[in-house]
Structure 1
Amino acid sequence: MQRFSTEESARGYFEAMRWPNGPVCPHCGNCDRARVYAVAPNTEKKIRAGLYKCAECKGQFTVTMGTVMEDSHIPLNKWLIAFYIICASKTQVSALQLQRQLELGSYRTAWFLCHRIRFSLANATPEDQLDGVIEADETYVGGKKRGHGRAYVGNKTAVVSLVERDGRVRSTVVEMVNGQEIARLLKKQASLDANLNTDESRLYKKVGKEFASHDVVNHSREEYSRRDYMTGRIATTNTVEGFFGNSKRALDGTHHHISKAHAGLYFSELDYKYNTRKVSDGKRTALGIQQMTGKRLMLRRPKNNISE
Structure 2
Amino acid sequence: MDVVSLSTLASDREKTVSYLREKGLLVTYTRCPFCGSEHIGEVRREKYKCYQCRKEWSIRRGSIFEGMKLSWEKILWAMKLFEMEVTAHKAALQLRLSYEVTLRLYTLFRKAIWVHTQKEGKSLLEGEVEMDESYFGGKRKGKRGRGAAGKIPVFGILERGGKVQVEVVEQVSAEELVRLAVAKVKRGSLVYTDRFKSYDGLVSYGFRHKRIDHGKRFANGKVYINGIEGFWSYAKGRLLQHHGVSVERFPLYLKELEWRYNHREEDLFELLLDVLREYSQVADNR
Please tell me the TM-score bracket, short chain as reference.
0.7 to 0.9
Q: Percent identity?
A: 23
Q: TM-score, normalised by structure 1?
A: 0.75
Q: CA separation in 2, counterparts of 1:210 and 1:36?
A: 59
Q: CA separation in 2, counterparts of 1:182 and 1:236?
A: 18
Tell me the CA shift for residue 295 of structure 1: 4.7
Give the structure 2 partner of residue 242 of structure 1: 230
Per-residue CA deviations over 1:222-265 (Å, capped at 9, x if unaligned) read 2x2223xxxxxx2211000001001101111x112111111111
Per-residue CA deviations over 1:31-51 (Å, capped at 9, x if unaligned) read xxx987874133xxxxx6175
Give the structure 2 partner of residue 190 of structure 1: 185
Pair 136,109 (structure 1): closer, same or farther in 2 beyond 3 Å: same
Pair 38,156 (structure 1): closer, same or farther in 2 beyond 3 Å: farther
SS of 1:226's equivalent in the other structure is coil
Tell me the CA shift for residue 294 of structure 1: 3.1
Q: CA separation in 2, counterparts of 1:59 and 1:192?
A: 56
**How many residue pairs end up in the alignment?**
267
SS of 1:134's equivalent in the other structure is strand
2:16 corresponds to 1:10: yes
Say if 2:43 and 2:49, in contact at 8 Å, map to a contact too: no
SS of 1:18's equivalent in the other structure is coil
Give the structure 1 partner of residue 262 of structure 2: 275
Q: CA separation in 2, counterparts of 1:196 and 1:261?
A: 31
Aligned positions of 1:113-152 closer than 5 A: 113-122=105-114, 123=117, 124-146=119-141, 148-151=142-145
Which segment drifts farther, 111-120 or 209-218? 209-218
Match of 1:111 among 93, 103, 107: 103
* Stretches of structure 1 lacking an aligned partner (at least 5 in a row): 29-33, 43-47, 228-233, 297-308
Give the structure 2 partner of residue 260 of structure 1: 247
* Stretches of structure 2 lacking an aligned partner (at least 5 in a row): 1-6
Match of 1:291 among 264, 268, 278: 278
Indicate the structure with greater helix content: 2
Match of 2:67 among 50, 67, 71: 71
Pair 96,184 (structure 1): closer, same or farther in 2 beyond 3 Å: same
Q: TM-score, normalised by structure 2?
A: 0.80
Match of 2:197 among 185, 193, 202: 202
Letter in 2 for 1:226: N
